[in-house]
Amino acid sequence: MELPQEFIDDVLDLGEDDDVQFIDLAYLLKEDTGEEANLVERTVDSAIILMDRGYLYPGDIVDNMFHRWKAPREEIIERFRQGQQEVMRGEGQFNFGDICWFHTSSYSGPGEAS
């Protein structure tokens, strides 16, 4: 899957001072590609690519603090795919907080929990 540079730039811009979610990635992907077909699957694929390129770091928000996942890549991808299946069994679109949260390589907001 080829990611438009505009999409990558938009994700990094959004992530400079805020946490990013799958719902944000889906919105930006739809806006930057103009395509809605298979949006949930394409969004998860995009997140994996961005993670592999070092742009996204998945984690959870607990007590208003970001806690980065320490799991191996394969386990993270499995969690993404399980979440993708849950989204598709539900409304078929991402909602606030689905699957995980992300910090980006451009993030400069408050620190994350250790």
Residue 95 included in any domain: yes
pLDDT for residue 111 = 73
Q: How many helices (H) and strands (E) does the chain have?
A: 4, 4
pLDDT tens for each residue of the chain, 114 residues long: 899 999 999 999 999 999 999 999 999 999 999 999 999 999 999 999 999 999 999 999 999 999 999 999 999 999 999 999 999 999 999 999 999 999 999 998 777 765
pTM, to two decimals: 0.93
Alpha-carbon distance 86 to 74, whole Å? Answer: 18
Domain holding 80: CATH number? 1.10.3510
pLDDT for residue 109 = 79
What residue has token string 């946490």?
19
pLDDT for residue 113 = 61
Q: Please count the structural domains in the chain.
A: 1
Residue 111 included in any domain: no
Are the CB atoms for 9 and 35 separated by under 8 Å? no
Beta-bridged to residue 61, according to DSSP, are 66
Which residues form the domain of 89? 5-104
Residue 31 included in any domain: yes
Residue 42 included in any domain: yes
pLDDT for residue 48 = 98
Element (H, E) at 51: helix 39-52
Alpha-carbon distance 44 to 46, whole Å? Answer: 5
